[in-house]
Amino acid sequence: MSFKSILRDLKEVRDGLGGISKRGWSKSSHIAPDHTMTPSENIPQSPWASLPPELLHEIIRRVEESETAWPARAAVVSCASVCKSWRGITMETVRVPEQCGKLTFPISLKQPGPRDLPIQCFIKRNRATATYILYYGLMPSEMENDKLLLAARRVRRATCTDFVISLSAKNFSRRSSTYVGKLRSGFLGTKFTIYDNQTGSSTAQAQPKQASPKLPATSYTSGSITYELNVLRTRGPRRMHCVMDSIPLSSVISEPSVVKEEVSSGETSSTDKENISPSLLDQPLVLKNKSPRWHEQLQCWCLNFKGRVTVASVKNFQLVADIDPSLDALPEEHERVILQFGKIGKDIFTMDYRYPLSAFQAFAICISSFDTKPACEG
């Protein structure tokens, strides 16, 4: 049996499983929320369930390796929906974004991105509906079948502004299973708090080997964002600091790292990372703006976005880790861009993120820049 015929038969199996929501199999532009995945114990056992485990592993492995981009990658989600045995093996086969650089199940949006290369996305702003949609890909496609990852809607209140974040661009109810968290700003729009409606799967401390399709629900504070006030109205871009409560500083410092200590002779000695105070390495990761340079000819501040940003905007930024000088971190660890965001057209912005941030955390940080901050601009 050829590989194409296997995929064709999978489609027939999909169409025959009436108990499984078709949204879990569709090639629509958004990741299917968890409620579309029928609990494994209720999934009907199809004839495919009797396949030998070795053959089943090989089929799912080939599907996972061949379907690398959306919407074709929906076939991997389909494999997890066939029956209980297929679901288990798919969970074993699909790796987390940190290891494979791909987004497959909804839980992938709460897991750290890859270490080597960033995951590239873009955001579309709709001013009329006050919504912001995160898509998977370099830029909008001509076919407009881009993969929707997350959506946010701005809700202004008397003393604050909420950005409700969902897996669906049509349902922002906090009672819905598509609700994944929110971003809340203070009265001045200079301080924000990220609330995650899931468990700590987005932390860089937890490093599971597989990407589970499930999204267990709890709630906790994931991080905070602060924009510095520019009281003197000095010339320069916005400045921000992001404290990621769920990510330790140690996640951005490679092994081995050393800390400099003064000794009685006045000389400097180095101590391995193992001897550094745990409280220093376990403190939350803080992200700060990468310093731009002033371009005399253009008369503006500039950053090297490597072609991913094409329009000058006060919203454009790059974030790097704020590492204590006492830690003898490598130069590239100080300069490595963990998140970058910038404008490429009318109401279209790129968002590229990498480890240790998740897509959800990166998206929350980026949409904070859309709230009005006249007191922070030069």
Nearest-CA neighbor of 255 among 269, 271, 273? 273
Structure tokens at 36: 């579309």
Strand ranges inside 322-377, DSSP E:
327-328, 339-345, 348-353
293: β partners: 302
Residues 174 and 292 in one domain: yes
Report the largest interatomic distance among the alpha carbons of the chain, rounded to a whole angstrom: 79
Residues 176 and 311 in one domain: yes
Q: Is 4 among the domain residues?
A: no
Residue 61: CB atoms within 10 A of its CB come to 15
Q: Is 159 among the domain residues?
A: yes
What local confidence, expressed as pLDDT, does residue 26 receive?
A: 40
Residues 90 and 188 in one domain: no
Residue 91: CB atoms within 10 A of its CB come to 17
Q: Give the count of domains, the chain.
A: 2
Residues 87 and 163 in one domain: no
Segment 134-157 shows an average pLDDT of: 88
3-state secondary structure of 72: coil
Torsion over CA of 371, 374, 377 and 378, rounded to 10 degrees? 160
Residues 63 and 161 in one domain: no
pTM of the model: 0.79
124: DSSP letter: E
Residues 300 and 347 in one domain: yes
Residues 55 and 147 in one domain: no
Give the model's confidence band at 352: pLDDT under 50 very low, under 70 low, under 90 confident, else very high.
very high
Residues 87 and 125 in one domain: no
Mean per-residue pLDDT over the chain, rounded: 80
Give the model's confidence band at 215: pLDDT under 50 very low, under 70 low, under 90 confident, else very high.
very low
Q: Is 30 among the domain residues?
A: no
353: β partners: 119, 339
Residues 90 and 157 in one domain: no
By residue range, what is the domain housing residue 70? Answer: 48-94
**In this model, does residue 260 exceed pLDDT 50?**
no
CA 76 and chain centroid, separation: 20
**% pLDDT > 70, the chain:** 71
Helix axes 3-16, 53-66, angle to 10 degrees: 100
Q: Is 349 among the domain residues?
A: yes
In order, the DSSP letters of 68-81 are -STTTTHHHHHHHH
Q: Is 21 among the domain residues?
A: no
Contact indicator for 238, 301 with CB cutoff of 8 Å: no
Helix axes 3-16, 74-81, angle to 10 degrees: 60
Residues 6+ apart with CB under 8 A from 262: 268
Q: What is the CATH number of the domain that holds 135?
A: 3.20.90.10
Residues 70 and 150 in one domain: no
Residues 58 and 139 in one domain: no
Give the model's confidence band at 223: pLDDT under 50 very low, under 70 low, under 90 confident, else very high.
very high
Q: Is 161 among the domain residues?
A: yes
Q: Is 317 among the domain residues?
A: yes
